[in-house]
Amino acid sequence: MSPGVPSAGIAGRPTLAELPFGQPEWCEAKVEWEKTMAVLHLDHVNISTAKLAESIAFYGDILGLSVTNPPMVEDMSKGAWAFDERGIAIVHLVGTDKEAGGTEPLRGVAQRGMIDHFALRYEDLTPVRTAMEQHGLSYDTLEVPQIGMCLLFVRDPNGIMVELSAPLAA
């Protein structure tokens, strides 16, 4: 079996490994199989944090997400969900009193169990840039004309890199 190929089929469907590889019908079967596995979008990022209050403030006050308690708890003392403009809870914050020691995350270096970054799209970065400056947060800016985007990179209270992007001004 090839790496990355599912070993267990979804109910009523063969695995990709069970398709007739090398035979003419394999290509057609693979296309149909891939259609049923289409990922629609990234749903959310889950962050376990010993800095819950700071994280709630960062994602709410600075990045402008709507932060509230998760539906299964009555308050934000153990966690919070941060919603985008569509009403999707894209960041889940889970409070913990346990924190792994070790070195600070390094951009561009593979570290076990670390996410390099995740990205949030905005229409305009001016309000979030203003909020970061008001809170004394440092960030890096990169304009990428090849894709028509301005990118800001900032670390959240947990050291996770968050990329903020918006179209370049015309």
pLDDT one-digit tens code per residue, 37-73:
555 667 789 888 888 999 999 999 999 999 999 987 8
Q: 95 in a domain, yes or no?
A: yes
pLDDT tens track, the chain, 170 positions: 344 444 444 555 556 566 566 665 656 666 665 555 555 667 789 888 888 999 999 999 999 999 999 987 889 999 999 999 999 999 999 888 876 666 566 555 445 556 768 999 998 999 999 999 999 999 999 999 888 999 999 999 988 889 999 999 87
pLDDT at 164: 92
Range of the domain at 77: 45-167
What integer pLDDT is reported at residue 135 of this predicted model?
93
What's the confidence (pLDDT) of residue 170?
Answer: 72
Task: Report yes or no on 18 lying in a domain.
Answer: no
**60 is written with which tokens?**
């709410």
Whether 47 and 93 have beta carbons less than 8 Å apart is answered as yes
The tally of domains found in the chain comes to 1
The CA distance from 85 to 156, in Å, is 20
Residue 91 within any structural domain of the chain: yes
Phi, psi (rounded to 5 degrees) for 89: -80, 90
Query: Nearest to residue 164, comparing CAs of 136, 130, 134?
Result: 130
CATH at residue 141: 3.10.180.10
Give me the DSSP letters along 5-64.
--SS--TTS--GGGS-TTSHHHHHHHHHHHHHT-------EEEEES-HHHHHHIIIIIT-
Q: Does 10 reside within a domain?
A: no
pLDDT at 104: 65
**Residue 2, in any domain of the structure:** no
What is the rounded CA–CA span in Å between residue 92 and residue 107? 22
Instruction: Identify whether 53 is part of a domain.
Output: yes
* Stated length of the chain: 170
**Report field, pTM of the whole predicted structure over 0.95:** no
Q: How confident is the model at residue 23, as a pLDDT?
A: 60
- pLDDT on residue 61: 96
Instruction: Name the maximum alpha-carbon separation found in the chain.
Output: 63
pLDDT score for 5: 42
Residue 2: what pLDDT?
41
In-domain check, residue 8: no
Residue 135 lies in a domain: yes
Identify whether the C-beta of residue 80 lies closer than 8 Å to the C-beta of residue 74.
no
